Structure 1
Amino acid sequence: MALSQQNFQRHIYIADDDQDDRIFFTEAMLEVNPEVVLKEAQYGAELMEILHTLSDPLPDVIFLDLNMPKKNGFDCLEEIRKLKGAIREVKVIMFSTSSDPLDIDRALELGASFYAVKPSGFDTLKAFLAEVLQMDWRCCNKDSGKFRLI
């Protein structure tokens, strides 16, 4: 049985130390889907604290910045993939300004579901987020959805 669109609320997490980037992301996400439940973390360490004490529904997707103080995106991703239970299978999109192939390869090797380079334009970001929200995550196996967006 297919999920009813109106009864399906997505829980999206973002960890990014840049407040302007979080605001930009939040505004774009809410324009794309105002029903999204969005949880923000300023640092990787804060995200991991949230995930370790999670009592809410699991996030559908975590957008994870790469370069953050206290705990970077690589460290968070590695820790997420080592957690016990269903949280370790949550889709993680590395969402960074870095387009360095070494960063992309490392993120994918550590278990990122996708790697996306942050778009600079609001409309491009909205189009990307709309595409992510429309994906049928149940059909995406571990190797079918690797991409990078520049």
Structure 2
Amino acid sequence: MLTLTQDLYDRIVAHARADHPDEACGVVAGPAGSDRPERFIPMLNAARSPTFYEFDSADLLRLYREMDDRDEEPVVIYHSHTATEAYPSRTDVSYANEPGAHYVLVSTADKDGAGPFQFRSFRIVDGVITEEEVRVVDAR
């Protein structure tokens, strides 16, 4: 189960909606080994695409060095789907290389009333997708 504060949930959703019609992407870091998402880190979609996201390699290297210096790890890796449901694509699965991370997908297909809003979380390990419950709590 992924447990997020209301603030983190709102920030992920706001980023996804702000970047629409392009996919948004980012990370929520937390203390290493804690499974506690704490620090919201919106990233730039280097692909600037409505159907694909890609972290800029220099930004990603900087982020991992910073997390290492702070004894953090990526607890949540998130991105949006702008025209489809919030479910990992084959490409998403192929890029999922953090077995301990929660992979959050937000569908912004509802941006113009085109479909229901979705916020879903998955574990993706060795190509196997497992959906998990998302619990939103008040700030700690």
On whether the aligned pair clears a TM of 0.5, the verdict is no
> TM class by shorter-chain length?
0.3 to 0.5
TM-score norm. by structure 2 comes to 0.37
Greater RCO structure (CA 8 Å; 6+ sep): 2
